[in-house]
């Protein structure tokens, strides 16, 4: 493993920094600084995506023929690191990071020609239909049915915890097309038009007050068989592929180190960088640096044609639990200022349900306004993309043979 970047890679880093300095507007940067969710709202995500897409950098991991970049693994990592350093808002991952790769790897030529350009342009805004009320971490237990009706499936059932379903016009979804075998068989990966008759979206309001997630109900929804990605009854293969990259495909280390550096600066400015708090930040920085080193090792393996494999579960556990720990440090730093609920001064990932919004100014320092909301929001980190308990089970079985 090469521990330093080459001259060409450093030149690429400078190119990315110059681009961000020119194109990352103060408004986008200010929005990202006050985010309380891992998701930006739809308008902000699409605004930033349009800027990146004009540069050809919206989906760098895609093959060049579909609009991606012919970058080395090191360049991808540099790009991700510089986005974190500059404080850029995230793009919605559902289209570019999940549905797009599924189509590229398993979709038909017609599906790729139709959907991939629409994902890049933002014309199609996607949500993920995986979890159900009785099938979350145990995803293979899903029961939403899709009955054969000639050239279409008739879908009935529900999905839950569906991020941005109220704003999406398309969903990639796992449905049960055959219940006769073991749970992992008989599942089909299906693309569903959210505007189709019989689709209903009900809001789920998070602890932080944000409307980001939803319950989605399907009542005799007709979906053309042309919307099947891969083979009928073999959607589990597509789902496993996506989950592997969803769990281990993020650069947790640079983002965590950026957040910790910001916390240290805030504590210093407020005169609260006592030895105990400083030691806690330093300890977290050591863990984040170790995670970053592990990610770099995995990037090196990926450059040789590998996949995240079991490392995806390790990265997911460490990344999400360390992120939660960082929110706990921020909570302690904020002290009494965590008590006011003031979403009107933050950048939520969606609308905030509040019957009587406050008409007074910000309570407490601007730098700490997101502490409580981010703490509450990040409780989901150890649950989404497969709970951390399940990830430990995967590691114990696959790595230790238990």
Round the average pLDDT of the chain to a whole number and report it: 89
What are φ and ψ of residue 236, in 5° steps?
Answer: -60, -35
pLDDT at residue 279, as a whole number: 94
Q: Are strands 170-176 and 187-193 parallel, antiparallel or unpaired?
A: antiparallel
Across 189-205, average pLDDT: 97
Q: Chain-centre distance of CA 398, in angstroms?
A: 25
3-state SS, one letter per residue, for the chain: CCCCCCHHHHHHHHHHHHHHHHHCCHHHHHHHHCECCCCCCHHHHHHHHHHHHHHCCCCCCCCHHHCCCCCCHHHHHHHHHHHHHHCCCCCCHHHHHHHHHHHHHHCCHHHHHHHHHHHHHCCCCEEEECCECCECCCHHHCCCEEEECCCEEEEEEEECCCCCCCCCCEEEEEEECCCCCCCCCCEEEEEEECCCCCEEEEEEECCCCEEEEEEEEEEEEEEEHHHEECCCCEHHHHHHHHHHHHHHCCCHHHHHHHHHHHHHHHHHHCCCCCHHHHHHHHHHHHHHHHHHHHHHHHHHHHHCCCCCCCHHHHHHHHHHHHHHHHHHHHHHHHHHHHCCCCHHHCECCCCECCCCCCCCCCCCCHHHCCHHHHHHHHHHHHCCCCCHHHHHHHHHHHCCCC
Res 329 pLDDT > 90? yes
pLDDT at residue 63, as a whole number: 93
Candidate from 16-25, 130-139, 212-221 with smallest mean pLDDT: 130-139
Res 88 pLDDT > 90? yes
pLDDT at residue 302, as a whole number: 65
Res 214 pLDDT > 60? yes
Res 176 pLDDT > 70? yes
pLDDT band, residue 194 (cuts 50/70/90): very high
Domains of the chain: 7-91 (no CATH), 125-238 (2.40.110.10), 249-349+364-398 (1.20.140.10)
Phi-psi region of 144 (alpha: psi -120 to 50; beta: other; left: phi over 0): beta
pLDDT at residue 307, as a whole number: 63
Across 249-274, average pLDDT: 88
pLDDT band, residue 1 (cuts 50/70/90): low
Res 129 pLDDT > 90? yes
């Amino acid at each position: 493993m090469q521990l330093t970047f080459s001259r060409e890679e450093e030149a690429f880093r400078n190119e990315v920094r110059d681009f961000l300095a020119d194109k990352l507007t103060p408004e986008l940067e200010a929005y990202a600084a006050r985010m309380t969710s891992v998701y930006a709202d739809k308008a902000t995500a699409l605004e930033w995506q349009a800027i990146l897409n004009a540069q050809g950098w919206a989906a760098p991991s895609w093959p060049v023929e579909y609009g991606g970049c012919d970058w080395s693994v090191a360049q991808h990592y540099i790009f991700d690191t510089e986005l974190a350093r500059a404080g850029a808002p995230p793009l919605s991952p559902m289209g570019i990071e999940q549905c797009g790769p599924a189509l590229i790897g398993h979709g038909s030529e017609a599906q790729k020609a139709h959907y991939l350009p629409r994902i890049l342009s933002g014309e199609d805004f996607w949500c993920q239909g995986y979890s159900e009320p009785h099938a979350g971490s145990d995803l293979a237990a899903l029961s939403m049915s899709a009955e054969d009706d000639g050239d279409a499936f008739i879908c009935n059932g529900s999905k839950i915890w569906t991020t941005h379903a109220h704003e999406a016009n398309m969903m990639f979804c796992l449905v049960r097309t055959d219940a006769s075998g073991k749970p992992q068989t008989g599942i089909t990966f299906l693309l569903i038009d959210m505007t189709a008759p019989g689709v209903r979206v009900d809001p789920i309001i998070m602890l932080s007050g944000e409307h980001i997630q939803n319950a989605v109900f399907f009542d005799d929804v007709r979906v053309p068989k042309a919307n099947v990605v891969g083979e009928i009854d073999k959607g589990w293969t597509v789902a496993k592929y996506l989950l592997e990259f969803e769990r281990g495909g993020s650069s947790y280390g640079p983002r965590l180190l950026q957040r910790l550096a910001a916390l240290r600066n805030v504590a210093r400015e407020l005169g609260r960088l006592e030895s105990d708090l400083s030691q806690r930040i330093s300890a977290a920085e050591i863990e984040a640096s170790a995670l970053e080193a592990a990610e770099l090792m995995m990037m090196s393996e990926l450059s040789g044609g590998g996949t995240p494999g079991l490392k995806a579960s390790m990265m997911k556990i460490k990344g999400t639990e360390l992120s939660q720990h960082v929110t706990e440090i921020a909570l302690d730093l904020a002290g009494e200022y965590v008590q006011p609920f003031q979403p009107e001064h933050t950048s939520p990932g969606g609308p905030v349900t509040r019957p009587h919004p406050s008409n007074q100014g910000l309570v407490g320092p601007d730098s700490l306004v997101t502490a409580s909301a981010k703490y509450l929001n990040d409780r989901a980190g150890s649950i989404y993309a497969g709970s951390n308990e399940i990830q430990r089970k995967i590691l114990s079985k696959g790595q230790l043979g238990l």
